[in-house]
Chain A
Amino acid sequence: MNRTVLSMLLVSLIIASHPSDAFAYIDGTSGGLLIQLLLGGLAGVGVIVKLYWRKFIGVFKKEKE
């Protein structure tokens, strides 16, 4: 994939994401798996977009509850 497109995607995902400060059980390999999805090609990027979409929807669901 074009490097510029990937960079832009990465930047937009970073800007779009809202990292939480909540303490959690952190699996140290998660970031490694996610970045492999992102670098793996279009299909992987699709999965990442889906994950962010779920996260985004989750915020509204929480508010509704």
Chain B
Amino acid sequence: MIRESGSFRDPDGYVFWHGERLFRALYQSGAEAYRTFRRSQVAKWAEDHHLLTRSWELLPDEWKGFDFLPPDIAGVVEQERVPFISYPYEWTFDMLKDAAVVQLELGCAMARDRLTVKDATAYNLQFLHGKPIFIDVLSFQPYREGTPWVGYAQFCRNFYYPLLLQAHCGIDFQPLLRSYLDGIPVMTVRRMFGVRAWKRWATLKHVVGQAWLQQSFESKMPTLKDDFPTAQFSLDHNIRLMQGLMKDLGKLSLRRTSSHWSSYGEKNSYSVQVRRLKRAFVSEQLKKISPSCVWDIGCNTGEYSLLAAEYAPRVVALDSDAASVNALYLHCQSQNITRVLPLVADLIDPSPALGWGLEERKSILERGRIDCVMALALVHHLCLMRNIPLGHLFAFFGRLGMRHLLIEFVPKTDPMAKRLLNNRDDVYPWYTQPNFEREAARHFVIEERLELEKGGRVMYELVHRLTSPSHVAISMSTDEGQSPSA
């Protein structure tokens, strides 16, 4: 049994893994709340409409053997697992917006069944089969008459403010959400907005109003619980607030939908012939490898992520340019492509472990096994722009633990590489194909090599030395020691 390191705040229960299966241990309060929720009509409706992951309570006999559970556990729920856990600071604008809509839709649906969602953290949502889905089945509890929506401020911090900042101020929310794990505080948002917050009714209410009321009473906050009956709160009031927010969200859109990188695919130096050769090489290798999970690092707008999705059930498409990743997400939504998970991530500064004890949010490298990594048209950016030596580059790829690496070498003579060095001294004498192959060979075996053009770009299929046939024994012992993915 492995207890999920990020699951400790909820007084109603916690998440644990048993083998490859995902469970929630419920204390008495949690068991009662879960059973009430399970009996409601909304439970099945939400599962059928892909708003909530499927879950089911085990019979006492079924978890009798779980002798690692403490005696105060009153029930165990098993739930559908999400193969790759992602965090809001890795989502794009439209991903966060869609997740916010799911949170609100679920909140409204629960309210109609006299239930309430007790919190509104964006970490309760994940992307499964290309769509956002709520995963915390212990978040639902019966509505207490006369109470307001307690998750409202958290909803603003986690969803609404980041989207407002991006839509109205053009500020990327990802670095902010990475710093503020419980969402961006209202006072910070208020300061960032400045006078612009007065321009719209929505920001006047949710930012200016909330910030001022918060500030007015921060030195001596009144106990509001006694005033709830006077204020005549009701479920209708909560539903109206959620519907109002949903309407406001509908009006938010990205100011800047393109970037230098989002049109990079059209600007690159490939001829039709080279592009065809490259696609054929990638297709052929993926067909041969038949991976279950591919990472496409530096995916741009996802041309090769989409190609990989034809051969792999799961593709994690990573790029540091949020506009490109958002374009890929919208493309997947419009074409109903469910195998690709686009995420904003920079290989130079990948998401670290964060939160309580540095265990609450896992680093991006700790969230599941990878079979194949694609690093296409990436190496020259890392080496020539970001000064990553080739030795460090392959040592990093070696640490990722995947068996296959599809990588493209872009020589300094390539027009795109030349452009990177246009106004800079070439201090990279080591950036050559022989050095590339020598450093690669420290960690990988070169299985395939294809020169796309004479003296031009070269495609490689590399196999990790630890998993190549001569190292099977080492590989097996490594696999056995690996903990299940999140």
Q: How far is the CB of A61 from chain B (nearest CB, A)?
A: 12
- Mask for B153-194, Cβ within 8 A of A = 1, else 0? 110110000000000000000000000001001100000000
Q: Choose among B182, B221, B232 the residue that contacts A30 (Cβ–Cβ < 8 A).
A: B221
Q: How far is the CB of B234 from chain A (nearest CB, A)?
A: 9
Question: Do most interface residues of chain B lie in helix, strand or loop, or is the interface mixed?
Answer: helix
Q: Choose among A20, A32, A43, A58 the residue that contacts B231 (Cβ–Cβ < 8 A).
A: A43
Task: Report if A31-B153 is in contact (Cβ < 8 Å); known contacts: A10-B209, A24-B219.
Answer: yes
How far is B190's CA from A14's CA once the two chains are assembled, in angstroms? 14
Within B186-230, the residues touching A (CB, 8 Å) are 186, 201, 204-206, 208-222, 224, 227, 230
Do the beta carbons of B227 and A37 come within 8 Å of each other?
A: yes
B449 at interface, CB cutoff 8 A: no
- Mask for A25-48, Cβ within 8 A of B = 1, else 0? 011111111111111110110111
Q: Choose among B201, B214, B237 the residue that contacts A31 (Cβ–Cβ < 8 A).
A: B214
B304 at interface, CB cutoff 8 A: no
Do the beta carbons of A35 and B210 come within 8 Å of each other?
A: yes
Do the beta carbons of A43 and B232 come within 8 Å of each other?
A: yes
Question: Do most interface residues of chain A lie in helix, strand or loop, or is the interface mixed?
Answer: helix
How far is B221's CA from A43's CA once the two chains are assembled, in angstroms? 20
Question: Considering only CB atoms, which chain B residue lies closest to A18 in the complex?
Answer: B216
Do the beta carbons of A33 and B148 come within 8 Å of each other?
A: yes
B394 at interface, CB cutoff 8 A: no
Do the beta carbons of A40 and B237 come within 8 Å of each other?
A: yes
Q: Choose among A24, A30, A39, A58 the residue that contacts B205 (Cβ–Cβ < 8 A).
A: A39
Do the beta carbons of A36 and B233 come within 8 Å of each other?
A: yes
Do the beta carbons of B208 and A34 come within 8 Å of each other?
A: no
Task: Report if A47-B217 is in contact (Cβ < 8 Å); known contacts: A3-B201, A10-B208, A40-B148.
Answer: no
How far is B237's CA from A41's CA once the two chains are assembled, in angstroms? 9
Q: How far is the CB of B457 from chain A (nearest CB, A)?
A: 52
A54 at interface, CB cutoff 8 A: yes
Do the beta carbons of A40 and B233 come within 8 Å of each other?
A: yes
Task: Report if A34-B201 is in contact (Cβ < 8 Å); known contacts: A40-B233, A44-B232.
Answer: no
Do the beta carbons of B218 and A24 come within 8 Å of each other?
A: yes
Q: Which residues of B contact A39 (CB under 8 A)?
A: 205, 241
How far is B233's CA from A44's CA once the two chains are assembled, in angstroms? 8
Do the beta carbons of A40 and B209 come within 8 Å of each other?
A: no
Q: How far is the CB of B198 from chain A (nearest CB, A)?
A: 9
Q: Choose among B148, B205, B212, B224 the residue that contacts A17 (Cβ–Cβ < 8 A).
A: B212
Task: Report if A35-B233 is in contact (Cβ < 8 Å); known contacts: A22-B219, A30-B214, A30-B218.
Answer: no
Q: Which residues of B contact A17 (CB under 8 A)?
A: 212, 215-216
Q: Which residues of A contact B231 (CB under 8 A)?
A: 37, 40, 43-44, 46-47
B421 at interface, CB cutoff 8 A: no
How far is B216's CA from A51's CA once the two chains are assembled, in angstroms? 10
Q: Choose among A10, A28, A40, A51 the residue that contacts B217 (Cβ–Cβ < 8 A).
A: A51
Q: How far is the CB of B207 from chain A (nearest CB, A)?
A: 10
How far is B209's CA from A40's CA once the two chains are assembled, in angstroms? 13
B152 at interface, CB cutoff 8 A: yes
Q: Choose among B153, B211, B222 the residue that contacts A29 (Cβ–Cβ < 8 A).
A: B153
B329 at interface, CB cutoff 8 A: no
Task: Report if A28-B185 is in contact (Cβ < 8 Å); known contacts: A10-B209, A36-B148.
Answer: yes
How far is B204's CA from A20's CA once the two chains are assembled, in angstroms? 21
Do the beta carbons of B218 and A34 come within 8 Å of each other?
A: no
Q: Which residues of B contact A48 (CB under 8 A)?
A: 213
B150 at interface, CB cutoff 8 A: yes
Do the beta carbons of A34 and B241 come within 8 Å of each other?
A: no
B409 at interface, CB cutoff 8 A: no
How far is B241's CA from A44's CA once the two chains are assembled, in angstroms? 14
- Using A18-B216, A24-B219 as known contacts, list a sample of 16 further A-B pairs with CB atoms less than 8 Å apart, ordered by residue number in A: A7-B201, A7-B204, A13-B213, A14-B208, A14-B212, A20-B218, A20-B219, A28-B182, A31-B210, A31-B213, A31-B214, A32-B154, A33-B153, A37-B227, A41-B232, A55-B217
A-B contact pairs, 19 of them (CB 8 A): A10-B209, A17-B216, A19-B218, A24-B218, A26-B218, A26-B221, A27-B221, A29-B152, A29-B154, A34-B213, A36-B152, A37-B148, A37-B227, A38-B209, A38-B213, A47-B231, A50-B227, A52-B216, A54-B222
5 nearest CB pairs, A to B: A32-B153, A31-B214, A34-B213, A19-B215, A17-B216
